[in-house]
Homo-oligomer: A and B are copies of this chain.
């Protein structure tokens, strides 16, 4: 099963480049469930996976609350209760719709960036042309005439 190891808070924090404060906060919000040895938190590889999912969720614009809902829902889904299974399928469908929207947004953004980039390059080319013309003018009339 996976890597079957356990992790300290700073190991996880370092691996995913977050602060320990964040990790503790995620536990506080019920997104992670480390066990304890005395006071110290011990994170399982399941926690590690969840942390990864949390961060990906954030990059995709999901709030911690949303991510937690998904986690909880999935946990209840595993209970095998029919109602929960159907609820999960429904939720998955809605999330898919969200992802579709995001993909559209990204595609749009990429197109606009394409045209923006094209315009930049055109403008740059224009500038270069002017520069070359200036250079040429200098060549033909090397001594510039100063006029008050």
Contacts and interface: CB of A to CB of B under 8 A. Distances in A.
Most buried by B among A96, A113, A123, A127: A123
A65 interface: no
Interface stretch (A11-19, A21-29, A103-111, A137-145): A103-111
Interface residues of A, number: 34
Contacts of A116: 74, 88, 92
A124 B86 CA distance: 8
Q: How many copies does the complex hold?
A: 2
Contact of A59 (B58, B77, B102, B126): B102
A113 B86 CA distance: 14
A135 interface: no
Nearest to A121: B89
Interface of A: 56, 58-61, 74, 77, 80, 82, 85-86, 88-89, 92, 95-96, 99, 101-103, 105-106, 108-110, 113, 116-117, 120-121, 123-124, 126-127
